[in-house]
Structure 1
């Protein structure tokens, strides 16, 4: 095809002002979701197909092939993919839908990805990419412990936290403070070690704010109810009472959290392998997520009941809500949505911080009305109602977001 004809076709497509769209605001193909050159190629296909009479000398693909334009735009993605599923997930992340795939004469994105995967030449890179999963598996085996080692590692934070709390309860005065500080350091190290291995690992995909909000929520779980009681009673006066049961229960729940996260990841990947369309995968992934969350909530509740038998009792609902919030946030981080997780945690922290602030502001002359909502909630349901409401609202918001975000194929190639 001559250069002048391509230029005329490109100019006609630009003047028509009706290029096909890839239906995705995040598509990298141009400001309108499609570049002028690719739109011109598709227009030329529509115009030339009915009248074309020239027989090609040999079977080959030319500008009449609309997939070729997409292949050039995503060549890097196609070259580094080890299977068609990675291409399908990448296309979906760039805004390509099943409706867009139909414009390329394919029934869905998976079928389009299979053609792209088959047509992109790899040569030596293909063999190298084919060996990549085996090399990655060997590297992981060398760096990370086996299944039994990972299981024991997930139990480490709970065991260390229980021992640290028991050591704190057995001491008095300055020794208790020293034991509490030492216990906090050891538990933090054990938790950090656990989060760097296995299904809860999210190296390079988190944000610093998540750690800050998590520490706030855990501190409030241990001291928040005592703080509210003290402020309502006219204080605070002296050291705040600590409730160790939530911390022990949440630390013990790291093990079921890892198991549920792995279950969801494995089942979602299996569902992705067997799906033939994005909608089919999404409809199957949502129940998997809800089931994993429900399993974790049941395990967390049982562990909190056991922790309450050994340590001072605290309301169950606030800690269950907090554990669910932390689990959902970690799932989102693991699958590539750290900003959403940080936002959900920040909302819960803000709500918990507002409650004592309103109580203190209510002591100012003429500002009694500011403290009335918090005093009414604490008087009706206890001091645990504040963290329960804050964490439950944030957890519901994260669950709604996760249901949509984690049902996308691109969330399972991170």
Structure 2
């Protein structure tokens, strides 16, 4: 009996000893297998600085999103989205026993008198140019017009290099593609001269170059152009409010989806606020200059330029370039068709443009072109500018 018990007790001992002896060896081999086949550990190594200084997983998620990590990328790490991946990275970083306190919500970006004055400068110079053209006559008008346009262009350039309308540090805002710059200048030039040129071409002219007078052979639509120059100031303030509001939402959110849900109405409200300010400026300029306010042309072009600038400020340059280019091409094609119709046997080419102009006026060309481009950019902005990575503090100049 005792021998049988001894044999029965010896069997478990024999089974346990090899297991006990092999368990430490398994423990020694496990980190090697985990390190070799654990992609999250590799990701943690590449982003250790971000993970160590983060105060919560949302900050890590915003940083990963800014560096191109998407939900599809997170799926390769066996996580449903970027925030879930950020939570694991945050949990893996060694920390003290006491939890780190969350920082207070960031204050509004500082409102500096420098960029406030710079955003007012284009409107002030444009007002001086319009006044100068009304006070001068004859040959003096040409140098006044050219000098004033150059001064306004330089003022706009300076306003885009400082303050809320400036791109992030290290990427000066004026260093955009030459094609994008050219398309923007064309759209602004068309707002000033395009409607009058289209009417003159359809009527068989123009017989003379523009004189700057609204009743000349090539009428100049001054009111919308002046309103757009004055709109540099509200555009800067709207960009400032968007940045400040987004940073507050970022500090109070508990996930990327929470931030997106809060950022969409913020972006929409900012956009509507700018359109309201631009509507008021168009009405004011039309009343003072005794001209048509040209609401359709002015509002659609203003919306297009604001959305393009906001996207450029947040490092999305490709979509604005395409949208501005498409609108400029549409306006150019309309003028080219009317000119080409003067060739023998080509009169039919101008038929679509003549029909549009006859039914809706000269605004039938720039309004749908700019409206379609602005709507495209609005959809793109609601998808990209509502992401946490678009508003993570990166030292953008204020």
- TM-score (norm. length: structure 1): 0.74
Change (3 A) 1:372 1:79: farther
SS in 1 for 2:362: coil
- Hey, what's the Cα distance between the residues in 2 that align with 1:409 and 1:396? 22
1:197 to 155, 158, 162: 162
| Corresponding residue of 2:17 | none
| Corresponding residue of 2:202 | 232
| Corresponding residue of 1:170 | 135
For 1:312-391, what aligned pairs fall within 5 Å after superposition?
312-314=290-292, 315-391=294-370
CA apart distance, 1:390: 1.0
Contact 2:75/2:81 (8 A) holds in 1:
yes
CA apart distance, 1:160: 1.5
| Corresponding residue of 2:16 | none
2:381 to 402, 406, 410: 402
SS in 2 for 1:384: helix
CA apart distance, 1:291: 1.2
CA apart distance, 1:340: 1.1
| Corresponding residue of 1:250 | 228
Contact 2:71/2:81 (8 A) holds in 1:
yes
Contact 1:207/1:339 (8 A) holds in 2:
no
Are 1:262 and 2:240 matched, yes or no? yes
1:301 to 260, 264, 279: 279
CA apart distance, 1:117: 5.5
Change (3 A) 1:312 1:227: farther
CA apart distance, 1:111: 5.6
1:157 to 122, 130, 151: 122
- Hey, what's the Cα distance between the residues in 2 that align with 1:347 and 1:151? 32
SS in 1 for 2:343: coil
- TM-score (norm. length: structure 2): 0.76
CA apart distance, 1:280: 2.2
Contact 2:279/2:299 (8 A) holds in 1:
yes
| Corresponding residue of 1:91 | 64
Deviations 1:279-301 (A, max 9, x none): 22222222211111111111101
Change (3 A) 1:371 1:79: farther
Deviations 1:21-51 (A, max 9, x none): xxxxxxxxxxxxxxxxxxxxxxxxxxxxxxx
- Hey, what's the Cα distance between the residues in 2 that align with 1:82 and 1:198? 28
Structure 1: gaps of 5 or more residues:
1-51, 123-129
- State the Cα RMSD in Å: 3.3
CA apart distance, 1:153: 2.6
Deviations 1:115-171 (A, max 9, x none): 53675689xxxxxxx9xx9xxx9xx98xxxx53443233222111110111111211
Contact 1:109/1:277 (8 A) holds in 2:
no
- Hey, what's the Cα distance between the residues in 2 that align with 1:297 and 1:170? 31
Contact 1:200/1:334 (8 A) holds in 2:
yes
Contact 2:123/2:231 (8 A) holds in 1:
yes
CA apart distance, 1:192: 1.8
| Corresponding residue of 2:179 | 209
Structure of larger gyration radius: 2
Greater relative contact order (CA < 8 Å, ≥ 6 in sequence): 2
| Corresponding residue of 1:185 | 150
